Structure 1
Amino acid sequence: MEKIILIGDGGHAKVIEDCIRSQGGSVIAMLDDRYKVKFYEAHIVKGPVALIEELLTDEVKVVISIGSNPIRKSIVERLGISNEKYAVIIHSSAILSGSVKVGHGTVVMPGVVVNADASIGFHTIINSNSVIEHDCVVEDFTHISPGAILTGNVKVGQGSHVGAGTTIIPSIVIGSWTTVGAGSSVISNIESNVTAVGVPAKVIKREGL
């Protein structure tokens, strides 16, 4: 039975805890810097993130249970632990092809389908009932929101966020650290560091502008 420390104790952590339990694992600690001291709640250790130094043993792994892509990346950099110490969490109801690659620290939520030869990076969120079709590449620190559909051979760059219910047609490339708004229909490539929304999706904001 896998033992997990969650970094972050909000709504997203609740869903990840359910995913861990569906695998037969257990959460032994939920660490968050809004806590100043160590305490116990329902046999789970809670306290500041610095407690990880005390709790992380050979038998324990870690998941960053925070929805924000930039914050998740910054915490990984802050902790400085090896990728192998991060768990891969896949809800028992998710369906993944045997040829799919999933990076450490990634969470695959209930009802997800990931098809043949798709590749999912490190510390990524594949949220409930989303579909990642064949040959897609989803890079590190991304978030594919509930109900989003990536049709075949789509690439989503590092740190990007695909909003709930968005559909991306085949062979589209989404750049890095880009946000695609909920309910969008993406029929052409979208560059890095922008926000795009609509049907069809159009860029409405560029970083720094």
Structure 2
Amino acid sequence: MAGEGVLLVGASGLAREVLAAGMTGVAGILDDDVSLHGTEIAGVPVVGPVADAAAGNEQLLVCIGPSGTRREVVRRLGRLGVAAERYATYVARSARMGTTSDVGSGSILLDGVVVTADARLGRHVVVMPNCVITHDAVLEDFTTLTSGVALAGGVRIGEAAYIGMNAAVRQGLSIGAAATVGMGAAVLSDVPAGEIWAGVPARRLGVTK
């Protein structure tokens, strides 16, 4: 979905997943780990630190899994003068986007993702393989859905929330900003911002740092 000359930000597992899903036109990877500079990740060179993004005009795709860390990197790049228009969006060929749904810049949807009707995905959202996002769901900026998450209709996920593998969220509920839902959870009530919930049914375990 992105054009030629894309730089991936973060030499991460997510970067490798994006490359394995078939993204083309990747010119290099930026990472602050100097020991990686001059090496390759899945055949793509690690060409320098993250700050180098400010010096070029390539499109960028931030491949950092944790929601809060991804947000901080984007904010850092903004302070360095990187405009929002430079961010690419990647939707894997096997993902299915409903014609009435939207996805924001900087977002990543991997293999087998299904987005149905009238869903809204914000900027820098990451959706890992085989997630299902149904009608009227809203994923605010920097949300992360890990593999196999299922969102029923009208669910709202707050900014920088993180939903664990194979979790399911009942219709019409809200997950607050920066909340964490554990893997395999069955969410049957609203999750307040900044809280950690897990279990079947999901219950509060604590607060995020």
Same fold (TM over 0.5): yes
Kindly state the Cα deviation for residue 16 of structure 1 after the two structures are TM-superposed: 1.5
**Contact 1:123/1:142 (8 A) holds in 2:** yes
TM-score by length of 1: 0.91
1:60-209 mapped onto 2 (5 Å cutoff): 60-80=58-78, 81-207=82-208
- Name the SS of the counterpart of 1:73 in structure 2: helix
Change (3 A) 1:43 1:144: closer
CA deviations on 1:72-131 (whole Å, 9 max, x unpaired) are 111111111222110010000000101111011000010000011000010110110000
5+ unaligned residues in a row in structure 1: which ranges? none
Query: 2: CA distance between counterparts of 1:127 and 1:10?
Result: 14
Change (3 A) 1:127 1:153: same
Corresponding letter in the other structure for 2:74? V
**Contact 1:107/1:123 (8 A) holds in 2:** yes
Corresponding letter in the other structure for 1:106? S
User: 1:2 aligned to 1, 4, 9, which one?
Assistant: 4
> How many residue pairs end up in the alignment?
202
CA deviations on 1:178-197 (whole Å, 9 max, x unpaired) are 00000000111110000000
Corresponding letter in the other structure for 1:173? S
Query: 1: CA distance between counterparts of 2:162 and 2:86?
Result: 25
Kindly state the Cα deviation for residue 20 of structure 1 after the two structures are TM-superposed: 4.9
Query: 2: CA distance between counterparts of 1:207 and 1:14?
Result: 27
5+ unaligned residues in a row in structure 2: which ranges? none
Query: 1: CA distance between counterparts of 2:88 and 2:200?
Result: 37
- Name the SS of the counterpart of 2:94 in structure 1: coil
Cα RMSD of the aligned pairs, angstroms, is 1.7
Percent identity between matched residues is 33
